[in-house]
Chain A
C-alpha cells in the first residue's frame, strides 16, 4: 500500500526538500581581539531539490562541503544564508524549539558506527531514546516498538540489552539506522553510512537501506565519496566541488554523459574492478590539489585545474542550469 503510494508520488515528482542558495561559512578568529579574520566557505551557494521517495546522492571529495550541506539541511548547523524547505515549510527561520519538533520528520544516519552510539547505553536504550523524547507510547509499547525496529534492520531483538561495543561495525550501523527510523521520518540524511565498513558488509547495509526505502516510503539524501556506491543507490546524483553543486542529473545520464569537466575527471579516476576495462581506460589526471575554501578561486572555482578554462571562467561564476532535460550543470563550456 505504502509502496504504491510512493510509486505514485515518485511519478508526480513532488518535491520534499528544496534547498536554495545555501551557504555555511565558518569564521576564523585571529589576532588579539579575536576578530573574524576570514571565513571558511564550506558551503557557498548550494541549490538542490529532493523528490519524495527518491534517493539523491551527494558526492564529492573531502572538504567539498557535502557533509556540511547535509547537516545544514537538517539544521544541525545553522546556515549562514539561503533557504531550506521541508514539505514546503521554511526551516532556516524557524525557532529552535519548533525545529526540535520537526526532527521526527528528518533524521540522520552517521558515518562512524563507533562514535555515533553512546557506549554507556544498551542498544535498546539507544533505539528507545527518540521514542521517549517524543512520548510515543507507554514503556511497554516502546519496548515492543524497539523490538520491532531491531527486527526490521536485521538485529535479533534478543540482543536488546547488549552494549554497542559488543556488536560489529555493520551491526552497529544497523542500530544507527533503527534509531533513525524510530520516529517514522519521511527524510533521512545518510552521511557516508557504509564508508567505514568492509565491502562484504557494505553490500548488506546498502541492500537494507534500499529495502527500508520501499517499506517505509523514505526519501534519502545519500552523502558519500564513493562514486560506485552512490551510483548503485541513487536515482539522481549531485556532484559538489569546493562548496558548490557543479552537476545534478539522473544517475544514468550523469555517469554516461557527464557534462562538467570535474565530473568527467572524477569518474575517470574511479578504479573499476575489471583488468580489461582498466587497461583500455583513459584517465583524466587532474593537476594539483583542491584549492582552499578560505580563499576560493574567482569565477568558476574549478578553473585553475580545468583543461577547458577560458577567460570567462576566471571572471563569471557559472550558474547551475538545465543543459539537457533534467541534467543540470554549472559550467560555461559543458560537454
Chain B
C-alpha cells in the first residue's frame, strides 16, 4: 500500500467572532492516497470549505485560526511551515480551484500571462518564452480551442465554463500532487458541468494528481470520486468508498440526505423524505451528537455523548454514530 499523500489529524479550525467562537471544523481526521479522488460532501456551513482552506493554509486570520491538530503533506506537517515555505508549496505541490470562475481570475492580465506567472514563480530555471509556451500547452490541454490566440485574451472574453477551464490550467500548470476543487462546477450549467468534470477526471488520471472535490451534489460525487467524506456541523460523520456510501449508508444523516434528493431515475409522484429541522448553530453546538435533534433513531445516549468515527463492520466504512444502519 502506498504511503499517504495527505494525513489530517484532529484538525480544529475555529472562527473567533464578536458573538463567540464558531467551531467551523472540529476534530477532523482523514487521509488521502496519491492519485485518489476524495469527495467531501455536506450542506452549507458544515465545514467542508474550511477544511480545504485549512489544508492549503488560506483560512482568513483573523477571525479564523487553526487551533489544533496536524496536517501532514508528504510526511511534513504543513502547520509548522512559515509563510514563505507555504507560498512555495501553494501552486506547485498543492493547488486549489474555487467555485466562482468569474472572480478568481485577474481581469487586467491576459490568461496566458496568468498561467505563465504560476510556472515562472515556481520554476526558476524556466524562461519567459518557455513559460508562455507552457501556458499555451496547458490551454490546449484543457481544450480551449485555438489556444495560441486565446492565450492573449482577457478573462472577460471567456464564458463561465471556459474560465473554469483556465483556472484548471493554472492549477495544473506545475503538476501538483494535490488539487483541491471547491465546488468547481456549482456555478456552471449541467452540460458545461459535464464537460468540466470529464476534463478534471481525465487530467487527474493522466498526471496522477490526487483531487479533493468539495461539493454538495451527491450526483457529482457518484460519478467522479473513489472515496467520500460526509460532513455535518463541523465534523466528518461518515467516510467510505463511494459504492458503500450510496448502497449501504451507515449514518442516519447520510441516509436522510440520499432520501431527500429528487433523482432523475425516480418515478413521478413519489414523495421525498425531507430531513426535519435545520443544522445546529455552530456558536452553541449541542452537547452530544450534532445530528441528534433531527435523527429518527435518536436515543438518550446520543444527546449526552458525542460519537466518534467507528468502523461499522463493512470494510473501510466508518461512521460517527452509536446506532448505525
Contact = CB atoms under 8 A, between A and B. Distances in A.
A235 B269 CA distance: 9
A271 to B, nearest CB: 3
Interface in A240-295: 251-252, 255, 265-278, 281, 283, 285-286, 289-290
Contacts of B44: 198
A309 to B, nearest CB: 17
Given A170-B278, A265-B191, A272 B261 contact: no
B222 interface: yes
Interface string A165-203: 000101000000000000000000000000000111111
A266 to B, nearest CB: 6
A285 B223 CA distance: 15
A61 interface: yes
Interface residues of B, number: 44
Interface stretch (A77-85, A224-232, A324-332): A224-232
A231 B268 contact: yes
A232 B274 contact: no
Given A61-B189, A228-B262, A273-B263, A285 B271 contact: no
B191 A251 contact: no
A285 B266 CA distance: 23
B284 to A, nearest CB: 15
A116 interface: no
A297 to B, nearest CB: 16
A274 B272 contact: no
Given A271-B220, A272-B219, A275-B222, A201 B278 contact: yes
Nearest to A281: B223
A276 B247 CA distance: 9
Contacts of A156: none
B159 A289 contact: yes
A141 interface: no
Given A200-B257, A201-B278, A232 B266 contact: yes
Residues of A in contact with B, size category: 35 or more
Contact of B222 (A201, A232, A274, A283): A274
A145 to B, nearest CB: 27
Contacts of A251: 268
A286 to B, nearest CB: 5
A251 B262 CA distance: 14
A151 interface: no
Interface stretch (B3-11, B114-122, B193-201, B303-311): B193-201
B113 interface: no
A62 interface: yes
A235 B222 contact: no
B77 interface: no
Nearest to A277: B265
A207 interface: yes
A215 interface: no
A61 B243 contact: no
A277 B265 CA distance: 10
Contacts of A306: none
B261 A207 contact: no
A204 interface: yes
A194 B78 CA distance: 39
A206 interface: yes
A232 B265 contact: no
Interface in B147-204: 159, 161-162, 189-195, 197-198
A270 B261 contact: no
B258 interface: yes
A267 B264 CA distance: 8
A273 B271 contact: no
B194 A283 contact: yes
Interface string B218-259: 111111000000000000000000110010000000001110
Contacts of B190: 61, 225, 227, 266, 269-270
B260 interface: yes
Contact of A266 (B161, B191, B195): B191
16 contacts: A61-B189, A199-B218, A207-B271, A210-B271, A225-B189, A231-B262, A232-B266, A232-B268, A233-B262, A255-B264, A269-B190, A271-B193, A271-B220, A272-B223, A273-B222, A286-B194
Given A199-B216, A203-B272, 7 more contacts: A200-B275, A201-B278, A233-B262, A266-B190, A271-B217, A271-B222, A273-B221
Interface of A: 61-62, 168, 170, 198-204, 206-207, 210, 225-229, 231-235, 251-252, 255, 265-278, 281, 283, 285-286, 289-290
CB-CB nearest 6 A-B residue pairs? A271-B219, A232-B262, A203-B274, A203-B260, A61-B189, A269-B194
